[in-house]
Amino acid sequence: MYSKEVLKRFRHPKLEGEIRNADAKVTVGNGICTDRLQLYIKMKGNRIKDIKYLTYGCPAAVSSAELVCELAKGKTLKIASKITFTKVLKKLKLPQGKYHCCKMSITALKEVIKKYEKNIHNNNSI
């Protein structure tokens, strides 16, 4: 059912975990199943210095979060925000019934970026 890429990322995650004192953190879920994903970022200048996730979900949810984090790490927010559902889906070769897991990871990335930018804007306007 799952591709070798999904199983590799599920069995050997590298970016799973929390970031203490993260610059932004979000929690998202999806309406299809009970999967949940927390995504953390730590910035250095205008780049994502570190990005980690915690997820409650199936191999598709874990591998999607893992790949999204891998693609975003070290990138600027502008570049990271351009990571697409299609790019992640193509790399993982998820079955159609698991597309929602990929969408959840992309949603989390976009929300954590938005939250960080809002926090920066609010701190600069004080």
Q: Residues 96-110: pLDDT tens digits? A: 999 999 999 999 999
pLDDT at 126 over 50: no
**Mean residue pLDDT across the chain:** 94
Sheet containing 36-44, strands listed edge to edge, beginning at the edge strand earlier in sequence: 24-29, 36-44, 47-56
Number of domains in the chain: 1
- Give me the domain span that covers residue 53: 4-124
In 30-85, DSSP assigns E strands to 36-44, 47-56
pLDDT at 2: 94
What is the mean predicted confidence (pLDDT) over 3-25? 97
Q: Lowest-confidence range among 65-69, 81-85, 119-123?
A: 119-123
Q: How far apart are CA 24 and CA 125, in angstroms?
A: 18
Higher pLDDT, 32 or 107: 107
pLDDT in tens, 33-77: 788 999 999 999 989 999 999 999 899 999 999 999 999 999 999
pLDDT at 124: 67
Of the chain, the end-to-end C-alpha distance in Å amounts to: 52
Instruction: State the pTM of this model.
Output: 0.92
Which CATH number belongs to the domain containing residue 77 in this structure? 3.90.1010.10
In Å, what is the CA distance from 75 to each residue of 52, 58, 93?
14, 27, 24
Helix (H, G, I), strand (E, B) or coil at 62: helix
